[in-house]
Structure 1
Amino acid sequence: MPLAFALRQEAATLYGLPVGESVDKHINLVKLCVGAERVEDLLLWQQTPRAHGPDGLPRHVTRMWPKRGEELLNGGSLYWVFKGLILARQRLLRLDEVLGGDGITRCALVLDPEVHRTESVPRRPFQGWRYLKPEDSPADLAEARQHEDTLPPELSAALAEIGVR
């Protein structure tokens, strides 16, 4: 059996896909940006060496390994929730295996360094991460709006609640 096929078969098994099935769609993740109140807080955190992997790319280490990894890496993004609102996203580049200080294997979500601001969409609190369908994902803000000052979270939430983004 060729090595490439064996690796594909192993990946298909790992991600719960039937062998030979191609992935022609993508899925996103949504996660609370714990400890951050604004997108600027995330940007500051990702400038620190602790937020980067050995390759210098930003990453977020999570305990659980996504079963739908192939779909995530087919154009998916990680959408960040700040104080109850999705406000930004980063494209997922790859999933790396990381060994924690406690000896437990974890998943590093390796991210594109570019953070895209999105329309404000309310999101209730949850633990860990959740899958987010593309049709349920907020649109990116127009390039001209990427550098605008962010509205206070309470105002963004109120506007999103009445459908004004």
Structure 2
Amino acid sequence: MINLLKLCVGADSVEDLLDWQRSQRPHWPEGRALHVTRMWPKREAEVLDGGSLYWVIKGVILCRQRILDLQEVNLGDGIPRCALVLDHEVIRTEPAPRRPFQGWRYLDPKDSPRDLAPGRAKDDPLPPRLAQALAEIGLR
């Protein structure tokens, strides 16, 4: 099993991601979240064997969504793309800082941040800068 890591461009918080996905749900087949990316994972079988998409928001991994399927899509320009079909549930994780990058990256499960305990999932999130600073010094 392998995870994917992706910048959540345009979102300042997990709530922004949730709001955007709620607004797009009527446009997605079966109401499932889709994220379209240009490249197809070469490690498809490992991604589909329980992998998740970990979202980097403002330089910090803050949440993940299980990847349910990969589907080819064409946006009308003749270029085939990969749609990551995501579970509707967004699972908050312990904050983990990440430097900017383009596209997506593989994320080994041993390097993936842990899910927040169920009792902490509803906590008010820390400001992104504070979460990043705490994660950098090992106080997630």
TM range (shorter): over 0.9
Percent identity over the alignment is: 69
Unaligned runs of 5+ in 2: none
> Residue 78 of structure 2 corresponds to which residue in structure 1?
103
Amino acid at match of 2:108: K
Q: Deviations over 1:37-71 (max 9, x none)?
A: 10000000100236853222001000000100110
1:83 has 2:58 as partner = yes
Change in 2 beyond 3 A, CA 1:124/1:51: farther
| Rounded Cα–Cα distance in structure 2 between residues aligned with 1:89 and 1:51 | 21
* Number of corresponding residues: 140
Match of 2:122 among 128, 147, 158: 147
| Rounded Cα–Cα distance in structure 1 between residues aligned with 2:114 and 2:129 | 20
1:159 has 2:134 as partner = yes
> Residue 99 of structure 2 corresponds to which residue in structure 1?
124
TM-score of the two chains, using structure 1 as the length reference = 0.82
Match of 1:56 among 9, 25, 31: 31
1:115 has 2:90 as partner = yes
| Rounded Cα–Cα distance in structure 1 between residues aligned with 2:105 and 2:26 | 21
TM-score of the two chains, using structure 2 as the length reference = 0.96
Unaligned runs of 5+ in 1: 1-25
| Rounded Cα–Cα distance in structure 2 between residues aligned with 1:51 and 1:43 | 14
Match of 2:19 among 26, 44, 49: 44
What is the root-mean-square deviation in Å for CA atoms of aligned residues? 1.2
Q: Which has the higher contact order (CA 8 A, sep 6+)?
A: 2
1 or 2, which has the higher strand percentage? 2
Does structure 2 retain, via aligned residues, the 8 Å contact 1:51–1:58?
Answer: no
